[in-house]
Amino acid sequence: MPDGGSYVCLQRAERFVEIRGKDEQYYGGDQAWFFWEGRKGQSHVARLGACGTVALANIAAYLSESNPAYGGLYPYPDYEKASFLAHMVDLYGYVRPFHVGKFPLGIWPVSRLARGMERFARARGVQLRAVWRDWGFSRGNVLRYVLEGLYKDRPLAMLVGTQRQRQVEVVLPGRGSYCQDLSLHWVTVTGVRMEAGTVKLVASTWGGQTLLDLDEYVRERIYAGVVYFE
């Protein structure tokens, strides 16, 4: 960080959920991997609308590595891409997007995503609950809540609204970057960078890492939301 700035993050934020493909690495999962043999429609809906499912898959895998009490959240022996995809499919059984035919409508509200994660954990013998705070949706309260989760070493699932999170740079580990529209999209928050009055949220999405401006994020009050689990 430049002088005068600060960085708060998960204990293993730099590597986070390090998934390995054949010749590639990823910073968390990617909804574009979803695939069911002979179920083209379901695969299409998941690839376009199951970003929240992937955010939960990231969180479950991270918690499983961080604490033996959460070990049942990720039963696979490695973080190869095929194993993590199976894990994503497991979560899809509990949290899947609304859709009309083949047209995905996403996963909302935040409470629906949270309850699905709690059911997934119970099915695996793990006690896990969403942490809610009776705070208004404001810049200060969102930052306070995100920092609370990070200080506890808990990744956060964050639903980005419609406000200006478009064409955001996504950096892929060792493979450059590209721009992606992140409006109406779930990401996994892994850190916060603060400098000279600006706050950037570090997040995993589409298998890479991105920075989101907190001020832009809180302009949306209808579709936006954030949650962590313990």
Tokens 């070990």 sit on residue: 71
pTM value is 0.95
Helices (H), 20-173: 40-49, 51-66, 81-92, 110-123, 139-151
Q: In this structure, what are the phi and psi dihedrals at residue 228, rounded to the nearest 5 degrees? A: -130, 170
* Sequence-separated (6 or more) residues with CB below 8 Å from residue 101: 41
Q: Which stretches of the chain score pLDDT less than 50?
A: 1-3
Note the pLDDT of residue 1: 39
| Residue 178 three-state SS | strand
Note the pLDDT of residue 167: 81
